[in-house]
Amino acid sequence: MIEIRNLHATVDGKEILKGIDLTIGPGEVHAIMGPNGSGKSTLSYVLAGRDGYEVTKGSVSFYGEDLLAMEPEERAAAGLFLAFQYPVEIPGVANMTFLKSALNAMRKHRGEGDLDAMQFLKLVREKTRSLNMTDEMLKRAVNVGFSGGEKKRNETLQMAVLEPKFAILDETDSGLDIDALKIVADGVNALRSPERSMLVITHYQRLLNYIVPDHVHVLAHGRIQRSGGKELALELEQKGYKDFGVEEAA
């Protein structure tokens, strides 16, 4: 259970989140939609503990623990995963090496031993195949020279390997072609379980046809303005965000 209470956060002294309240139960999938610049990515960074995103008020409880008191890597080890809107390139570090370091770091936090090379290879091969990715992508440097869609797929692969308790997907659908969208959505759905919750940030109702959310929220001006079921996404698609005091783009 993730409980966000009256969360306020500033970036460079500017208040971006102005009192977010959100409770996500085990196994639930919540979608957040909202105009550009409304604070969606900011919320995901604050939850993941990024430097420079300062919480000025409020609290976040993560399965009973004070999430905000933890270092980013501790949050990751506790089971929080963020699929980045803009995945980062790490030149010279093979995707495979990165995945292995990440998985073993998590296992260490949890007091488990390293997976041996064979076990790891088996695990990764399985996940790669289910996401229709090639082994060649595992040998390449993390996200370097990946197309926009490949980067998003790579985020999904990491999630599948790390098996988090709570995954935040920040526009994982952006940049995916129609087939890729389906593959990634299938990958995400395969991870749905009664213990695993998700927060799916998207601009497109289309994704929610594949990953059907339990709740949809509208974030605007740093606050959740409205919450509803999956039909809210359809309504937004038709009406846009003008009801929330946001001008339609010219």
Partner 1 sequence: MAATHETVEQVRALAEQKYKYGFTTDIDAETAPKGLNEDIIRFISAKKEEPEWLLQWRLRAFEAWKTMQEPHWPKLDYGPIDYQDAYYYAAPKLKNKPKSLDEVDPELLRTYEKLGIPLKEQAILAGVEGTEGQAPAIAVDAVFDSVSVATTYKAKLEEMGIIFCAISEAVHKCPELVQKYLGSVVPYTDNFFATLNSAAFTDGSFVYIPKGVRCPMELSTYFRINQANTGQFERTLIIADEGSYVSYLEGCTAPQRDENQLHAAVVELVALDNATIKYSTVQNWYPGDANGVGGIYNFVTKRGACRGVNSKISWTQVETGSAITWKYPSCILQGDNSVGEFYSVAITNNRQQADTGTKMIHIGKNTRSTIVSKGISAGRAQQTYRGLVKILPRAEGARNHTQCDSLLIGDQCGAHTVPYIESRNRSARVEHEATTAKISEDQLFYCRQRGLSEEDAVSLIVNGFCKEVLKELPMEFAVEAQKLVGISLEGSVG
Ligand X SMILES: Nc1ncnc2c1ncn2[C@@H]1O[C@H](COP(=O)(O)OP(=O)(O)OP(=O)(O)O)[C@@H](O)[C@H]1O
Give the number of other Cβ atoms within 10 Å of residue 43's Cβ. Answer: 27
38 touches ligand X (CB under 6 A): yes
Binding range to ligand X, per CB under 6 A, among 36-44, 110-118, 141-149, 242-250: 36-44
- Residue 191 C-beta: closest distance to ligand X, Å: 23
Looking at 13-144, list the stretches that DSSP marks H as alpha helix, in order from N- to C-terminal side.
40-48, 72-78, 95-109, 117-130, 135-139
Contact between 145 and partner 1 by CB under 8 A: the answer reads no
Q: Does 205 bind ligand X (CB under 6 A)?
A: no
Which option in ligand X, partner 1, Mg ion, none does residue 38 bind, with CB closer than 5 to 8 A by kind? ligand X
Q: Count of residues for the chain?
A: 250
Pick from partner 1, Mg ion, ligand X, none: which does 42 bind, CB < 5 to 8 A by kind?
ligand X
What is the nearest approach in angstroms of Mg ion to the Cβ of residue 3?
A: 23
Secondary structure (3-state) at 103: helix
Residue 71 binding partner 1, by CB under 8 A: yes
36 contact choice in ligand X, partner 1, Mg ion, none (CB below 5 to 8 Å, kind-dependent): ligand X
Around 42, how many Cα atoms within 13 Å sit in the side-chain half-sphere? 28
User: CB–CB of 197/26 below 8 Å?
Assistant: yes
Report d(CA 150, CA 90) in Å as an integer. Answer: 15
The CB-nearest residue to Mg ion is 41
**From the list 2, 16, 31, 184, which residue makes contact with ligand X (rule: CB under 6 A)?**
16
Enumerate residues 6+ apart whose C-beta is below 8 A from 79.
63, 164, 165, 166
Among 21, 23, 27, 37, binds ligand X (CB under 6 A): 37
Comparing CB distances to partner 1, the nearer of 115 and 224 is: 115
Burial of 38 (0-12, 13-18, 19+ CB in 10 A): buried
Instruction: Report the interface residues with partner 1, using CB under 8 A.
Output: 12, 48-52, 54, 71-73, 75-77, 81-82, 84, 87-93, 97-98, 101-103, 105-106, 109, 141, 158, 162
